[in-house]
Structure 1
Amino acid sequence: MTDSNRTSPNFSTKIQALEARSQDLSISPKKQGDASRSAEALERVHAAYQKTGLGKLDLVPLPASRPKLDIQGVTISLTLGCQVRGQFKGNPAVGALTVLFNKSEASASARDERARTAAALSLIYATEHLGGHGKAVAKLCLAYDVFRGTVTTCPSQIARRIANMEATCEEVALRWPAVKVPDDYDGPPIV
């Protein structure tokens, strides 16, 4: 999506490669499933690419190593796809595109709320980490819901949303040390 030399990314080659990988018996079933789900996601991106307006944006790759957000002592990792560059009042501006892959949420209002929150987190990230490329502005901070095929712009009035996130993170930070890890937990190390 971030290749400025083409009007539409070459999704078909990537989709075919992922579909072939999903049938490759030499790799684990988990990797086959990952490839199948990735192919499905790319098919959705391809189908909605022009409709969403992604093709009209100046999308720039992010560094491979990205800092995480720290909100009131809670580390937040975002699924950022790229930077979004543009202009604001005649000056360079920057934002970030968060990619949402959840396809199981049935409630449209819940999906919309999640997208608005993700776009707000994109604005926080752009403000804290991308300011060297221009002023971080809400209109360039987006959440792309792959399976719904929609792009949500960060609301311009987000003070209450950010205050709610900060209060929630503060509560998590206060209570986290007392949480007992379940015996059957198999996720990443908890520190």
Structure 2
Amino acid sequence: MSFLTDSNRTSPNFSTKIQALEARSQDLSISPKKQGDASRSAEALERVHAAYQKTGLGKLDLVPLPASRPKLDIQGVTISLTLGCQVRGQFKGNPAVGALTVLFNKSEASASARDERARTAAALSLIYATEHLGGHGKAVAKLCLAYDVFRGTVTTCPSQIARRIANMEATCEEVALRWPAVKVPDDYDGPPIV
């Protein structure tokens, strides 16, 4: 994401990085998982390169986020976001702020499902900006965005999100109520579940 927050950015040229990642994806001395990661990263950079001008990202004032990023707590459920950066601007003549969430999922085939996911991610960006970035200006929906890398689109947070937030809160409340009763599978090998 350092490219996005570089104030001197014009148009990305990731050719060298893409070539290095493609070579790494063929390197038999590393694990298949690392090869796959390199291949997917090369593809993501190719998509960013191809769609950068179309997305309008170059026209935005994008600023790095603090190194330490608090998570959101919605009805007792901790939510991590893949935020790329802050988005700065003006609202009614005063400083305003938002956040850009970056979506890397390429497996969702349904356009309507991708659109819904992007709107929800942009709404979560607004919640994050409201709770954690208010020192830089008023958090506004038009500066809260979701960038779908593999689709090459940027979605702005809907201006009317009360129902969406209420739905998220109800869902998180249900998860929080049921989580203690969930049995961890015997073959689970992920991070510790608390």
Give the shorter-chain TM-score range: over 0.9
- Superposition deviation, residue 132 in structure 1: 0.9
- Who is 2:119 aligned against? 116
Task: Kindly provide the CA deviation profile for residues 95-149 of structure 1, in whole angstroms up to 9, marking residues without a partner as x.
Answer: 1111111111111111110000000000000011111111110000000111111
CA contact (8 A) 2:123 2:161 kept: yes
CA distance in 2, matches of 1:119, 1:131: 17
Shift of 1:26: 2.8
Is 1:18 aligned to residue 21 of structure 2? yes
Do 2:9 and 2:58's aligned partners in 1 also have CA atoms closer than 8 Å? Answer: no
TM-score calculated relative to the size of structure 1: 0.96
Quote the offset at 1:27 in angstroms.
Answer: 2.0
1:8 to partner: Cα distance:
1.8
Sequence identity of aligned pairs in percent? 99
State whether structure 2 residue 85 is matched by structure 1 residue 82.
yes
Q: Secondary structure at the match of 1:84?
A: strand
Superposition deviation, residue 22 in structure 1: 1.6
Q: Is the 8 A contact 1:3 1:9 kept in 2?
A: no
- Residue deviations 1:26-65, cap 9 Å, x none? 3222111101101101100110000010111111111232
For structure 2, the residue ranges without an aligned partner over 5 or more in a row are none
State the Cα RMSD in Å. 1.0
Distance 1:23 1:161 in 2: 43
- Secondary structure of 2:81's counterpart equals coil
Report the Cα offset of residue 151 of structure 1: 0.6
Figure out how many residues of one structure are paired with residues of the other and give that number. 191
Tell me, in whole angstroms, the C-alpha distance in 2 between the residues paired with 1:38 and 1:60: 22
Residues 140-187 of structure 1, C-alpha deviations (whole Å, 9 max, x = no match):
000011111111000000001001100110110011000101111121
Unpaired runs of at least 5, structure 1: none
Normalised TM-score (structure 2): 0.95
